[in-house]
Chain A
Amino acid sequence: MQETAGNPLRSALVKFYLITASITFWLGLDLLLSPGLFRRFAGVYQVLARLGNERLWGCGFIVFGAFGLLNVLWLTRPPFPVRLLARMGIAFCLLSLALNNLGNVPPPASSVTYSVLSCAALWCVWRTKTSGR
C-alpha cells in the first residue's frame, strides 16, 4: 500500500477504498459461487436479475473489485484517470445494490448498509485528486 502517513483523513480514505473494493470483490465471488441467490430472497434482487443472472453480476463485481484492489495495493501511484475509473466502478456496484434494495417495499435491512457504503463511495469519487492518492 502506498505511503499515506502524516494525513489521517487520506489514510482513512485509503483504508475505505480497500474495504469497499474487498466488499465488491467478495460479493462478486459469492454471487458466482452461490447460483440462485437472486431468486432466494423473495424477489429483492428481481430488478437486477432482469438485466442479467448472478454469473454476469458476479463477474462484473469481481472485475470492478479486483481493479479497485489493485488500484489501492499497487506500489506506485496509478494515474488519475485509472484511480477515478476504479472508484467509479466500485461506486456503481454499491449504488446499484443500494438503489435496488431501496426500491423494494419494505426495503430490506441491508439497504442501510449499501446506502451508507454507496454514499461514501460516491464521496470518494468526488475526493479523487490528480495529486495525491
Chain B
Amino acid sequence: MVDEANNWAGFLQWVLSNPEKGALFLVLLAGAWTWIKELRGKAKTDDAKEEFLDTLIRENKDLRGELREERRKSRRRQNDDPDSGRPP
C-alpha cells in the first residue's frame, strides 16, 4: 500500500517536472480514446443499418411471395368457376 502510494507520488512528481510530456500523454490518451469510441460507435451504427436493410428486404420478399400466392389462388378460383367473376 505504501509502495503503491510512493509509486503514484513518484509518477505525479515526474509529470509535474515534465509538464510537456505529461500534457502530451494526457492529450494523446484522450484523443485515442475518443477516436476508438467513435469508430466503434460508427461500426455499430453501420451494423444496425445493414441489419435493418436485411430485415426490410426479407419482409418485402415474404410479402411478394404471399401476394403471388393470393393471385394464383384467385386465378385458380376463377378458372374453376368461370361465371363467378362475371356480372349477371
Number of interface residues of A (CB under 8 A): 25
B residues less than 8 Å from A51 (CB atoms): 20
Q: A118 vs B18: C-alpha distance in the bound complex, in angstroms?
A: 16
Main secondary structure of the interface of B (DSSP, over half): helix
Number of interface residues of B (CB under 8 A): 20
Q: What's the minimum C-beta distance from B37 to chain A, rounded to whole angstroms?
A: 8
The answer to whether A130 touches B17, judged by C-beta atoms less than 8 angstroms apart, is: no
A residues less than 8 Å from B28 (CB atoms): 88
Q: Interface code B1-45, partner A: CB below 8 Å = 1, 0 otherwise?
A: 000000000000001111110111011101101110010011000
Q: Residue A126 contacts which of B20, B23, B30, B42 (CB distance < 8 angstroms)?
A: B30
B residues less than 8 Å from A102 (CB atoms): 16
Residues of chain B touching chain A, judged by Cβ–Cβ distance below 8 Å, are 15-20, 22-24, 26-28, 30-31, 33-35, 38, 41-42
Residues of chain A touching chain B, judged by Cβ–Cβ distance below 8 Å, are 47-48, 51, 80-81, 84-85, 88, 91-92, 95-100, 102-103, 118, 122, 125-126, 128-130
